[in-house]
């Protein structure tokens, strides 16, 4: 009896020619995709490695906290570092509230009509505007028209305009990730829209929103174009380690612009200094980035549904 069954089932479920081909294709595709991941990683590693190695002689605590000396050919980058910090903070003060509130409106309040669609389209298009164009807009709107002159304020507002669309989109995405059934549950006990948003929707989307905001910090810190004509300055005399060196109405130095000037405008700057400036800028961005990642992971672990 058993042998009969064995004979009948021989060859059952073994791979045919076609199946083997399919498996082979699958393997090859997997390898190609894996290689692409490596291709992304290699430049990153080379870039960061190269920067750090070349910058090593200049990478000291002093370099960060000292002021530039002998026509930028010695000393540190404190004024630029703190300037970047100023620009980021001021731009966030403007763009975060506006962007988040606008995102909430677009996702929670706005009806599905032509006006909403136009606004959404405008937001997407604003995100696509090149930063140099933002810069020219900043010159026209803030420096000249609003009479702010070239200043921390004008530069920050220009950066704010540039970062707004991404904050709006991040907010919308985070809000729409909150399941509709939660909102329905709230409405069915008679909660108003705002009560629903405040008690249920926002607490469950705040991690996504904050992540979007923090990622925008990185762009704000790194962009040179929007501050070039609106508030960045070649050199400014600042006390070493001074935490409040700039008045919002004055111009300031900034890391990205400083890197630009010392590598193109000032002859004879020691190479390690150039690289070290780049490393500090990169580090600034990386610190914020990893903060965003940690925050996201923490918040994600906290929410359960």
Partner 1 sequence: MKQNTNISIETDNLSLWYGKFQALFDVSSRIKHGMITALIGPSGCGKTTLLRCFNRMNERFSSVGIQGQVRIMGKNIYDADVSLIELRKTVGMVFQRPNPMPLSIYDNVAFGLRIHSPHGKISRAKEAEAVEKALQEVFLFDQVKDHLDKRGTGLPLEQQQKLCIARLLPLKPTILLMDEPCSALDAEATEAVEDLLRRLKEKFTIVIVTHNMAQARRISDECIYMLKGNLIEHNKTAELFVRPRDKRTEEYIEGRYG
- Which residues form the interface with partner 1 (CB under 8 A)? 111-112, 179, 181-182, 184-192, 195, 199-200, 203-204, 303-305
Reduced to 3 states (helix: H, G, I; strand: E, B; else coil), residue 253 is coil
If the CB atoms of residues 115 and 187 are measured against partner 1, the closer one turns out to be 187
CB of 20 to partner 1, least distance (A): 43
If the CB atoms of residues 138 and 208 are measured against partner 1, the closer one turns out to be 208
If the CB atoms of residues 19 and 195 are measured against partner 1, the closer one turns out to be 195
- Compute the chain's Rg from CA coordinates: 27
CB of 186 to partner 1, least distance (A): 7
If the CB atoms of residues 36 and 185 are measured against partner 1, the closer one turns out to be 185
Q: Which residues pair with residue 69 across a beta bridge? A: 74
If the CB atoms of residues 111 and 267 are measured against partner 1, the closer one turns out to be 111
CB of 205 to partner 1, least distance (A): 11
If the CB atoms of residues 72 and 201 are measured against partner 1, the closer one turns out to be 201
Give dist(CA 281, CA 256) in Å, integer: 7
| 92 secondary structure, DSSP code | H
CB of 187 to partner 1, least distance (A): 7
Task: Render 35-84 in DSSP notation, one character per residue.
Answer: HHHHHHHHHHHHHHHHHHHHHGGG-SHHHHHSPEETTTTEE--HHHHHHH
Q: Which residues pair with residue 74 across a beta bridge? A: 69
CB of 298 to partner 1, least distance (A): 16
Q: Which of 288, 289, 291, 282 is nearest to 255 (CA)?
A: 282
Q: Could you tell me the sign of the dihedral formed by the alpha carbons of 175, 177, 183, 184, in that order?
A: positive
Cβ atoms of 288 and 217 closer than 8 Å: yes
Q: Are strands 74-75 and 68-69 parallel, antiparallel or unpaired?
A: antiparallel
Q: Which two tokens stand for residue 92?
A: 């966030």
CB of 114 to partner 1, least distance (A): 13
If the CB atoms of residues 12 and 180 are measured against partner 1, the closer one turns out to be 180
Residue showing tokens 């305009």: 161
CB of 184 to partner 1, least distance (A): 7
């Amino acid at each position: 009896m058993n042998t009969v069954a064995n004979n009948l089932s021989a060859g059952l479920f073994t791979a045919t020619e076609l199946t083997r081909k399919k498996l082979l294709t699958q393997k090859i595709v997997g390898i190609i995709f894996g290689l692409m991941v490596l291709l992304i990683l290699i430049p990153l590693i080379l870039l960061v490695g190269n920067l750090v190695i070349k910058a090593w002689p200049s990478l000291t605590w002093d370099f960060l906290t000292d002021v530039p000396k002998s026509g930028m050919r010695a000393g540190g980058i404190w004024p630029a570092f703190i300037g970047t910090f100023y620009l980021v903070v001021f731009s966030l003060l403007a763009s975060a509230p506006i962007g988040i509130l606008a995102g909430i409106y677009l996702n929670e309040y706005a009806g599905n009509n032509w006006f909403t669609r136009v606004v959404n389209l405008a937001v997407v298009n604003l995100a696509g505007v090149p930063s140099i164009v933002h810069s020219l807009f900043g010159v026209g709107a803030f420096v000249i028209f609003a009479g702010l002159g070239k200043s921390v304020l004008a530069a920050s507002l220009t950066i704010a305009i540039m970062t707004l669309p991404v904050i709006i989109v991040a907010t919308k995405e985070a809000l729409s990730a909150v399941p509709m059934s939660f909102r329905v549950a709230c409405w069915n006990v008679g909660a108003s829209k705002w009560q629903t948003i405040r008690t249920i929707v926002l607490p469950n989307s705040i991690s996504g929103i904050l992540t979007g905001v923090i990622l925008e910090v990185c762009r704000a810190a790194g962009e040179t174009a929007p501050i070039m004509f609106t508030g960045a300055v070649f050199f400014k005399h600042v006390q070493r380690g001074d935490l409040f060196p700039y008045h919002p109405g004055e111009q300031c130095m900034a890391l990205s612009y400083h890197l630009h000037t010392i590598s193109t405008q000032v002859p004879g700057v020691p190479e390690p200094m150039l690289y070290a400036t780049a490393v500090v800028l990169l580090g600034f961005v990386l610190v914020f980035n990893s903060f965003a990642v940690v925050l996201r992971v923490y918040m994600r672990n906290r929410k359960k549904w």
